[in-house]
Structure 1
Amino acid sequence: MALAAMRCRAARPAAASRRSAVSSRRVTVVSASMSVADLNTKYGIPGSVEFKEGKSGSTVVALKHACGSSAEMYLFGACVTSWKQPSGDEILYVRPDAVFDKSKPISGGVPHCFPQFGPGAMQQHGFARNLDWAVSATAADPNPDERDPTVEVVLTESDYTTKMWPHKFKAVYTVSLHGEQLNCQLRVINTDDKPFDFTAALHTYIEVLSIDKAKVTGLKGLKYLCKAKDPKNPEDKVEDRDAVDFTGYTDSVYLNSPNHVELEVGTGAAVALDSSGWEDTVVWNPWHTMKDCYQSFCCVENAKFGSAAKVGPGQSWTASVSFSVVDVSK
């Protein structure tokens, strides 16, 4: 990332101002195995939404805003792997050990944790990050100054998922650009005849100048679970720091966190996370367990973990987050 340029970026208005009208909207849930050419025919919007072949032949959807910002998401895992400012500055971080051949989840960007965050009865962080999601809609706002490119993808139950989690569901994930902002919304619908519960998170990796210069603000006074010593038996603590900094392995779950949290990246800029519905915030850095890359990123994750989401038949749960770059040098 061109860090000097990134410092000059300021947040745009909140994503709530997105207009519902669209210049082009194409809706039909399709197989995740559609070719890139077919996806572009059905869902591509010139200048706004394009499907292309990514690494290892995996399909990527690219969003481009009229202001010059951009984002990319792999359909495998519905993992956003790039979010760039109009200057070309990359905000997200993909680890050097990441693979894209679907042999394992993509390590970096914004991976999903659903229907389980962390270890538990099923595989680590659940199954949503291990599967292809299907495209269900694309759109672009008609206002020439705010042409917001949007893609919506869905995941439903299969033989693979019901062996781990015996429920019928529909997860709908919407990713859009509003000016320089990246907006992500997850909606989980219970299509079963019995209630279910789950935990979830967006495991967001953000690039920093150096981890020793990074700090997270907005968490002071919160109760948190410190999982650094023993993830299965976390320590209960209260955050007394004005800003959370990094001097070693960090894995903390802040309960009932505020809607606004910032990660200062060490350049005079911060990435602001404005969320709704997630409730908790996770701060993670692997330190020397990943010696080749730990200095270059910090994970600040929106989570639903302290209390599981409980969804009855025919009901749904929704959470969203808007990411923006703000100047904190003044």
Structure 2
Amino acid sequence: MEKIVIKIGSNLLIKNNEINKRFIINLSSIISTLIDGGKKIVIVSSGANAAGLKYLNLHPLKSLSQKQALCAVGQVQLMKIYEQAFNFYNKKIAQILLTRDDFSNRYRFLNLKNTLIGLNQLNIIPIINENDTISIEEIKFGDNDLLSAYFAVGWGADGLIILTSVDGIYDKNGEIIDEYNDSINLLKLKKTSFGTGGINSKISAGKMASYSGIKTCICNGNYLENIKKFSSGENPGTIFLPNKKMKNKKAWIAFLSKSKGKIYVNEGAKDAILKRKSLLPVGIEKIEGDFTKGDPVNIFFKNKLIAKGLVNFTKDEIVSLKGKKSNEILKDFDYEEFIHADNLVIMN
């Protein structure tokens, strides 16, 4: 694995209600060693809220506006600690604050990728967090597990390691699961005191990343040597084995883009899609939502999601064209496909 995303949970970063500086120093030592060995590393880090509370000497706040202000203050303090820790190892860092829209908007997503290319060329370590100061419910990730998976998919990472305060995912008998699959009955664990995600969000992140071809591990971050073990191919916790690597564009369509509508298709169109063929207007039965050319939409057969893709027509155009054959469409339009196979992803 050359490109690795490391997600740090809140309970690892916070000790006695403040940022655990010793933990960050040890973390920076491990990461610096990996970088010196040729790895490219991105850190997804929580902790802004706790850093802000400590800096301002406050108790937890309830008002949304005050919480957002607190994160704005705390993010500065958190980055100072990371900067000082990595300075010991002659490494430079950069801060990137993101919302969900930065991934779902294709133009902003490509700008983010260009920024990462520049940081890699300059040997600077990106440290990622959610932009809590401007996030509202519609564009929030909700927890950094999901953010780390989005970022790993968008960056085209080879590996994602989610560090938490437990050894991995437990089955109903309390045994660690070496390799995750959906058929295993899991032990229900409560959310940790500072974290927002819980084990379910970690599983969702692991599944998203592995479906995109990224090897993922959930393991105990109290033993930072687990990072080295994972990067060298060992399994220090619960592994999500990767599927075949998705092309960047299809990974963006499947997991990062935000659907603008729903398309319901007949059985013939469903069969064609599952054979990885294009969706033609003749196979469309019903349309919901409001979309324009180039927007992503979800495709359903009998209320079951089967695919997702980028459209060649606006909603108004396809309303007038649905059910028509290709020779009728090509009289007035450049495309016969509503969604071309190259812009279509089957959703399992």
Q: Do they superpose with TM above 0.5?
A: no
Larger Rg: 2
TM-score between the two structures when normalised by the length of structure 2:
0.27
Larger helix fraction of residues: 2
Higher relative contact order at CA 8 Å, sep ≥6: structure 1 or structure 2?
Answer: 1
